[in-house]
Every structure is written in structure tokens, then in C-alpha cells.
């Protein structure tokens, strides 16, 4: 199977993320997660891929052989940020309807305005939509002048949007809780998003040989930040070992820990095998692509668990 055909398998990340939400629902029901988690994971996932595309392009600035041509990077960012914008609008509408105790089809303009104007979740959601819209517009502009427009503004705005969401999360009431959550979310987004961007960008075995080791160096730093902040958050939130199985939130956290542990073990194995072989040009481009797609799909399950955790009591 050709590389172009293999890239389409990346779409399996969507049902994998929804599977993560479904697993969380089975563990937490009836105390969560909310139905909006299915849209939330699409919003967070697409935003993370947008961050990955922008990061990969930024990392390749000044390179003779960037990960992707500027035109391709801007086209990909336009498409992914468009999906992100649509998902964020849908998520805000669902949250507004839930806050008013009504179906989204019965939501009035007045109720929506009140939610956006008076409720923190609504204000943050509206701000994220503004960020997504700005990235869409900027990426369209970048596509018209791909070699002249810098990627850094798109990278900064996307990261800002990801960091803004934890302001209204579970940890917001704790000292430095929002900061820890923001670091946690950004680390996860980079770990997932840059690998997805590699799947979309890598044209050859030589490109994988250059960029996979660079991603590997970034990934372990992301994992370290993710584990440290996640451990602190879980310790503060749960308070005891028994809460891991006595509470709905704890059971979802435990499932997320299992998923991340398996991903870390897989990453460790890849560093010893795949990364070494790729750097030495001993593995084909399609071989690297299949491994990367498989890991992205596996990561998507963990993203589904994380998205569901945000609305689990």
C-alpha cells in the first residue's frame, strides 16, 4: 500500500477517540461523562493536530529540507483548523443548552448570549472560537503567500486556545491548578499533534530519518511533563488510593493511566527499534508511516478518556 493510501488510515483516530469516550462512559455512568464529550474530543484533537502542524513547520524554519513544503503545511493547517472551528462552535452550543437545561435545537439567541456573557465556560468557549477563527483566517492568508508568512503566530494562538480551556476545569479551584492543567494539555497536544503532523508531511525515508529522531526528543519531554502534572492533578483531586475505584472520576483516571503507561512503553520500545532503524535509513517510508499511524490511533483512545474526564463528576 502506498504512503498516500496509508495516510488515510489516520482517520481511524476519530472512532478511536470516540471509543475512549465510550470506555469512560462505561466506567463512570451515571455520574458522567456528558454527551458533549464526543464533540469535545474532536475539538481538542483537531486543535492538537493544528498545533502539531504549526510546530513542525516552525521547527523546520530555515531548513533546506523542511518536513513539509510551506504550501502543503498551510493547506493542511487550513483544513484542520476549519474542523477545529466547527467543533468548537458545536461544543459551545451544546454547553449552552446543557447549562439552560434544554435541547440544543430549543436553544434561543437570548439563552446563548446569556451563557456566553455571564458564565465562565461560555466566555472561555467564545474566546477559543475567536482563536480558531483567527487561525483559519491566518492559514488561508498563509496559503496565498506560503514562503513569506511566518508560522509562529498560528502556533502561538493555537497554543493559547489549548491553554485557555483548563481555566474552567476541575483543577481551577486549586492553587496553580490551571497552570498545571495547561501544561498537561499542551504536553499531550504536542505529543499527539506533532506525530500526526509527521504522518501528514513525511514524503520519504530520508525525511523520516531526519525528523523522527527530532520528534522522539520532543516526545519524551512531553511525556515527562504529562506524567508529572497528571500525577499532581490526580493526587489533589482524588486524595486517596480507594478513590481510584470508589469514584467515577477515579475509574476514568485509572483507565487513562493504563493507556498512557502502555503508550510510554510503546514509545520506549520505538526509541530502541524504530527510531534507530529510521535514522540509519533501514526502514521504508511506508513502514514508518504505518507505525506512526498506529501510535496516533492508540493515542486517540487516551484523548477520548481525557476529554470525557473533563465532564465526569
What is the model's pLDDT at position 173? 57
The pLDDT tens digits for 3-12 are 566 788 999 9
Q: CA–CA separation, 112 vs 50, rounded Å? A: 27
Contact of 162 with 51, CB cutoff 8 Å: yes
Say which residue the cell 503545511 belongs to: 73
Residue 165 pLDDT > 90: no
Sign of CA dihedral 189, 41, 303, 234: positive
Residue 172 pLDDT > 70: no
Residue 159 pLDDT > 90: yes
The pLDDT tens digits for 86-108 are 999 999 999 999 888 888 888 88
Residue 162 pLDDT > 70: yes
Say which residue the cell 465526569 belongs to: 312
Residue 237 pLDDT > 60: yes
Q: CA–CA separation, 97 vs 190, rounded Å? A: 31
Degrees to nearest 5, angle at CA 149 with 125 and 126:
10
Q: How far is CA 283 from the centre of its chain?
A: 28
Question: Helices (H) and strands (E) in the chain — how many of each?
Answer: 13, 0
Q: CA–CA separation, 72 vs 260, rounded Å? A: 31
The domains of the chain are located at 3-309
Q: For the residues 31-57, what does the mean pLDDT come to?
A: 92
Residue 68 pLDDT > 90: no
Q: What is the DSSP letter of 61?
A: T
What is the model's pLDDT at position 236? 83
Report the candidate in 300, 311, 239, 265 with the shortest Cα–Cα distance to residue 48.
Answer: 300
Residues 6+ apart with CB under 8 A from 71: 143, 146
- Kindly report the pTM of this predicted structure: 0.93
Confidence of residue 258 (pLDDT cuts 50, 70, 90): very high
244 vs 194, higher pLDDT: 194
Residue 48 pLDDT > 90: yes
Q: For the residues 201-218, what does the mean pLDDT come to?
A: 92
Q: CA–CA separation, 44 vs 87, rounded Å? A: 9
Residue 49 pLDDT > 70: yes
What is the model's pLDDT at position 175? 56
Task: Give percent of the chain above pLDDT 90.
Answer: 66
Q: Helices 248-272 and 285-309 sit at what angle, rounded to 10 degrees?
A: 160
Q: For the residues 283-299, what does the mean pLDDT come to?
A: 94
Question: What is the end-to-end Cα distance of the chain in Å, rounded?
Answer: 45
Q: CA–CA separation, 87 vs 23, rounded Å? A: 21
Neighbours of 145 (CB within 10 A): 11
Q: What is the mean pLDDT of the chain?
A: 90
Q: For residues 156-177, b (16+ Cβ closer than 10 Å) or e, as one string?
A: ebbbebbbbbbbbbbbeeeeeb
Report the candidate in 115, 90, 122 with the shortest Cα–Cα distance to residue 100.
Answer: 115
The pLDDT tens digits for 99-149 are 888 888 888 899 899 999 988 889 999 999 999 999 999 999 999 888 889
What is the model's pLDDT at position 76? 94
Phi, psi of 226 (to 5 degrees): -65, -45
Residue 63 pLDDT > 90: no
Amino acid at each position: 500500500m502506498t504512503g498516500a493510501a496509508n495516510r488515510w488510515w489516520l482517520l481511524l483516530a476519530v472512532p478511536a477517540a470516540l471509543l475512549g469516550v465510550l470506555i469512560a462512559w462505561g466506567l463512570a455512568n451515571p455520574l458522567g461523562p456528558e454527551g458533549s464529550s464526543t464533540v469535545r474530543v474532536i475539538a481538542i484533537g483537531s486543535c492538537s493536530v493544528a498545533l502539531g502542524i504549526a510546530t513542525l513547520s516552525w521547527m523546520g524554519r530555515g531548513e533546506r529540507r523542511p518536513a513539509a513544503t510551506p504550501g502543503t503545511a498551510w493547506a493542511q493547517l487550513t483544513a484542520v483548523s476549519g474542523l477545529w472551528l466547527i467543533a468548537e462552535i458545536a461544543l459551545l452550543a451544546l454547553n449552552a443548552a446543557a447549562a439552560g437545561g434544554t435541547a440544543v435545537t430549543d436553544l434561543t439567541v437570548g439563552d446563548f448570549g446569556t451563557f456566553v456573557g455571564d458564565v465562565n465556560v461560555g466566555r472561555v468557549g467564545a474566546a477559543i472560537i475567536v482563536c480558531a477563527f483567527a487561525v483559519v483566517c491566518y492559514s488561508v492568508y498563509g496559503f496565498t503567500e506560503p514562503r513569506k508568512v511566518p508560522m509562529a503566530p498560528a502556533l502561538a494562538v493555537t497554543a493559547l486556545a489549548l491553554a485557555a480551556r483548563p481555566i474552567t476545569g476541575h483543577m481551577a479551584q486549586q492553587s496553580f491548578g490551571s497552570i498545571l492543567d495547561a501544561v498537561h494539555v499542551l504536553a499531550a497536544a504536542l505529543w499527539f499533534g506533532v506525530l500526526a503532523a509527521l504522518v501528514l508531511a513525511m514524503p520519504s525515508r530520508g525525511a523520516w530519518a531526519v525528523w523522527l529522531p527530532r520528534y522522539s526528543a520532543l516526545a519524551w519531554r512531553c511525556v515527562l511533563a504529562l506524567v508529572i502534572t497528571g500525577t499532581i492533578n490526580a493526587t489533589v483531586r482524588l486524595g486517596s488510593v480507594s478513590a481510584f475505584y470508589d469514584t467515577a472520576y477515579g475509574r476514568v483516571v485509572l483507565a487513562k493511566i493504563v493507556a498512557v503507561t502502555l503508550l510510554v512503553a510503546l514509545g520506549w520500545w520505538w526509541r530502541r527499534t524504530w527510531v534507530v532503524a529510521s535514522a540509519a535509513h533501514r526502514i521504508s517510508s511506508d513502514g514508518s508511516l504505518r507505525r506512526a499511524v498506529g501510535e496516533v490511533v492508540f493515542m486517540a483512545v487516551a484523548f477520548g478518556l481525557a476529554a470525557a474526564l473533563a465532564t465526569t463528576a
